[in-house]
Structure 1
Amino acid sequence: YYTECLYDACGCDRGGDCECLCTAISNFAEACNRAGQPAKWRHNRLCPIQCEYGSVYTPCGSPCPKTCDDPFG
């Protein structure tokens, strides 16, 4: 992952360096999560995620909202 991450972050020409770096780190973190090793790497100064009012970002949460039919989302 290191070589691919370095290549993706440094060789990217879209959206600026931060977008490319965040995408590369996000892909690595997703692989860690799939392997059972969740990574908490986002914070206010590194690739922050803006949530709608009343919502909280959770890296391992379900992307689906909770409903009466599916209370776990």
Structure 2
Amino acid sequence: MLSRTSLLATLLDRAMRRHGWGIMGAVLFFNVMHWMRYATLGWRDARDSLFLLLIYLGLVMLLEYKRLRDAEEASAAVEDGL
């Protein structure tokens, strides 16, 4: 069983490899849409972008955790079946 720190590091690594461009694309998209509407970007927008990054990162880490657990369960089922 993985320790808690290595599990978080593994999840972060897997999330960034799979979803890194999507995360950056979402932040870029929302900032461009804000720029087109208000013609300005300020500190509040930077804070909102950081919150968006953290929320997106949290969601994709949960997805990666579920994938990791499903892979472990499938592996255990194969071992039990043999």
TM, length-normalised to structure 2? 0.33
Tell which structure's C-alpha radius of gyration is larger. 2
TM, length-normalised to structure 1? 0.37
Whose relative contact order is higher, 1 or 2, with alpha carbons under 8 Å and at least 6 apart?
2
Which one has a larger percent helix, Structure 1 or Structure 2? 2
